[in-house]
Structure 1
Amino acid sequence: MALCNELADIKKLDSSATTYFNKMKVLADTLTSIGRPLSNEEFAGFVIKGLDAEYDNVAEAVHIAKPVMPPHELYS
């Protein structure tokens, strides 16, 4: 639960997109290693939640993508 809370609290702010995504991915990978993997939809939701208005177009594209983008596509 603490890892999910940490995922929910991470914000991109002034960090680079790579740094931000890597923080998210490390936490998601940790969840997977303890037997609680996130679905692609859950991971995308956490990533989008931490972005600011500058990324609204990206967030919209991720929301309408079907099927939900896996993490490697979300990053690119």
Structure 2
Amino acid sequence: MALRSKLADIKKLDSSAMTYFKKMKVLADTLTPIGRSLRDEEFPGFVIKGLDADYDNLAEAIHNAKPVMPPHELYS
């Protein structure tokens, strides 16, 4: 639960997109070995949550993507 809370609390702020994404991916990947992997649709939701209004268009595209974007496409 603590790792999921951290994922929900991370904000991009002034960090680069690469730094922000790496933080998110490391935390998400940490859940797998303990048997608490994120579902495919959860990771993009956590990423979107930490973005500010400058990324509204990107957030909308991610939210509307069908099927859900896998992390490597999300980063691209």
TM-score by length of 2: 0.98
Q: Distance in 2 between matches of 1:25 and 1:6?
A: 12
1:12 partnered with 2:18: no
Deviation at 1:39, TM superposition (A): 1.4
3-state secondary structure, aligned to 2:41:
helix
What's the counterpart of residue 21 of structure 1? Answer: 21
Output the CA distance in 2 between the equivalents of 1:16 and 1:23: 11
The count of corresponding residues between Structure 1 and Structure 2 is: 76
- The one-character-per-residue Cα deviations of 1:31-72 (angstroms, maximum 9, x if unpaired) are 011111101210000000000000000000001100000000
Name the structure with the higher helix share: 1
Aligned partners of 2:33 and 2:15: how far apart in 1? 26
In structure 1, the gaps of 5 or more residues are: none
Unaligned runs of 5+ in 2: none
State the TM-score, normalized to the length of structure 1: 0.98
Rounded Cα–Cα distance in structure 2 between residues aligned with 1:67 and 1:4 = 23
For the aligned residues, what is the CA RMSD?
0.5
- Over the matched positions of the two proteins, sequence identity in percent amounts to 82
Shift of the alpha carbon at 1:74?
A: 0.4
